[in-house]
Chain A
C-alpha cells in the first residue's frame, strides 16, 4: 500500500513544491496537493485560526482542512531557518504547533524541523528524517533527494526566465502570448501572496491583460540580490525580507521598470518593517509605488480601482509630465 502524503498549497509551497513532490514521489509515495485556493478553503481557514493570524496562515489552515480526510500524513515541516544566521517568520517556526492546536482530529503531521541557522551540517540528517516516513532505506532517500534537487533547480531556472508559477503551476512557453508590453511593473511581496491567484485576486493576470509586463523578485539573479542585501547597515535576518530588500535596491538603482506594486497581508510582521523601508527607498528614488494590503475582507472592486488609478498615473507621467513635479 502506498503512503499518501498531503501537501497544503500554502506558504512555502510556492518556493519548494517541486522539491518535495519529486522527493516523495521517487520514494514511492503518493503525493496529494490540496485544491487551488477558493472561497471554501478561505472560509474554513478563517474559522479555524486565531483571529489575529495573517491571511496566508488562515489560508494554510484551510488547505490543511481540505486534505484532512484523504491522506495518511500532512506535510507541515517546522521551517525555522534555511540560511545561516537567518530565520523565517516566527509564525512559520511555530506552524506545526499552530495547526495541531487549532484543528482537531488531524492525521499525523510530518513536522521535521528544518534549521540551518547555525550550519548546514544537519542537512542530510534532516533529509533522512523526512524520508523515513516512507522508507527506511538511506540510499533510496539519498537518490530521491538528489533527483528532487535537480527538479527544484530547474523550477528556479524557469522562474528566472520569466515563467510565473501561478498557484504553483508554471505556464508552458506556448501559452504566453507574444505581445508588445507597453509598461513593465514589478510585483513584490512574499511568494505566497503573489502566486496565490485567489489570495492576490488575480493581480498578475489583471496586469497582463492590460499589456503590462510583470517582473518578480525571483527573476533577479540570486547573487545580485545577496550582494545588494549585504550592503545594508544591519544584516536582514528574515530570508524573505532579504530577498525583498535586495530586489528593492536592484529596482530602484536600475530603473528598468515603470512602477512597483507591493502586496502585503494585513498584520504581517515582516512586511510592517520591510514594506516601510522599501516605500521610503522608492519614494526617495522617485519610483511609483502602490501598496496593496489584503485580508479576508478585501473587496475586489476596490483593488481594481486602485490598480487602474495606478496604471493611469504611470501612463500620464510618461506622456505629459516628464517627471516634473506638479507644483513647479
Chain B
C-alpha cells in the first residue's frame, strides 16, 4: 500500500511524519505546479472551487509516481468541502484509475464503526496507543512548522540581504522530502528556525502589518495564493495569517468532538456582523478582520477561491467592518485564470496606499503634537 494525499501548504510534512511513524509507505505528491492545475482543471467540473482542481492534479501526479491509495478527508456541510470525497472518487473513476483504493476520513456523525474501520485501514494497526502516539507527534510537527512560518513572516520584511529567508525556507522544503520519522524532521525544523533567527535585520525599517483572512486552503497553499507571503514580505510587509493548520486541527480533531472551541473570542467579535456559523470560515474571516483592526494592523486582505459560498457572504459584510474600524480592506479572488501580473499590481497598489496612510498619520501627529 502506497498512500498519497493532497497538498496544503506545509501540511505534507506532518502527514508524512504521521504515516512514517505508523510504518505506512507514502508518496508525497510533487510540489503544486501549473501542470498540476492543468490536470485538475481538465478533469474537474467547470464551476467547482479551486482546491478540488488542485487536489485532483495532486492525485494524478502521485499515481504516476506509483501511489495506489488515496486518503481523503471531508466534513459535513454546509460548505461543499463536505462532498469533496464523493466527487473526487467519481472523478478518479472517470479518469480511469479504477483500481485506486480510497480511504475516506469523514467526520463520523454517529457512525463510529465505519469511521474507525477506515482509520484502521489506513494505519495498518488496531493499536490505539500506537495511533495516538503517531498523531501526537504529527500534531507537534504541525505546531513547529507554524512557528517556523511565523518566524519567516517576521524576518522577511526586515532582512538586510534580500532573499536570505527564502533560501532557508526553500532548503527546508528540499531536504525534508528525504527525511523519515519524527526525530529527523523536527531536528531539521529546529535548525531552520535557528538559521532564520540569525538572519541579519535592517536597523531602521518601517514595517507595515497586514492580516490575511479568508478561505483556509487559499490562505495556506502558496501555489494557489501565488506566494503572497513572499510577495508581501519583499514589499516590506509583515503578515499574519488568520488560519493555521495546527489551530484548525486542534479545533476540529480534539476540541469539537468534546463540544469545545478555541475560537470563542473570534466568534464573539464576529457576532455583531454575522450571528451564526454559515459553513466554511466566513465567521472566522469576519472575526479575525475585526481582531486585526483592534490590534492596530494597517490593512486586511481577504483571499478566497472563485465561487466559494461562505466567503461571498463574508465579502459582502467586510466593507462594513472596513468602515466601522477605518481599516483598508482588499479582496483577492483566485482561480485557474488568475494572472500573476495583475495580482502583483493590486498588491503593490494596496501596500502603497497603506504606506501613504501611515506616513500621513505620522505627519499629522508631528504637526498636531506642538
Contact = CB atoms under 8 A, between A and B. Distances in A.
Interface string B308-334: 111011111101100000000000010
A143 B170 CA distance: 69
Contact of B86 (A49, A78, A86, A233): A233
Contacts of B86: 232-234, 277
Interface string B62-91: 000000000000101111101101110010
Contacts of A113: 275-276
B94 A280 contact: yes
Interface residues of A, number: 41
A87 B78 contact: yes
Interface string B277-321: 111101000000000000000000000001111101111110110
A280 B320 CA distance: 42
Contacts of A85: 76, 109
A269 B77 contact: no
A52 interface: yes
A94 B316 CA distance: 10
| Chain A CB within 10 Å, residue with most, of B46, B80, B82 | B80
B308 A269 contact: yes
A267 B47 contact: yes
Nearest to A81: B78
A281 to B, nearest CB: 9
Interface string A212-242: 0000000000000000000011111110000
A270 B310 CA distance: 12
Interface string A236-256: 111000000000000000000
B45 interface: yes
Contacts of B48: 272-273, 276
B300 to A, nearest CB: 16
B273 interface: yes
B316 A101 contact: yes
B273 A97 contact: yes
A311 interface: no
Interface in A164-220: none
A98 interface: yes
B274 interface: yes
Given A49-B316, A234-B86, A273-B87, A93 B77 contact: no
Interface in B88-144: 90, 94, 104, 106, 109
A308 to B, nearest CB: 23
A271 B45 CA distance: 10
Interface of B: 45-49, 74, 76-80, 82-83, 85-87, 90, 94, 104, 106, 109, 273-280, 282, 306-310, 312-317, 319-320, 333
Given A49-B316, A237-B82, 20 more contacts: A50-B315, A52-B307, A52-B312, A80-B278, A85-B76, A87-B279, A88-B78, A90-B280, A90-B309, A90-B313, A94-B274, A98-B317, A113-B276, A234-B83, A269-B49, A272-B46, A276-B90, A277-B86, A277-B87, A280-B94
25 contacts: A52-B333, A53-B312, A88-B78, A90-B79, A90-B282, A90-B313, A93-B78, A94-B317, A101-B317, A102-B316, A113-B275, A234-B104, A237-B76, A237-B78, A267-B306, A269-B49, A269-B80, A269-B308, A272-B48, A272-B49, A276-B45, A276-B48, A276-B87, A276-B90, A280-B90
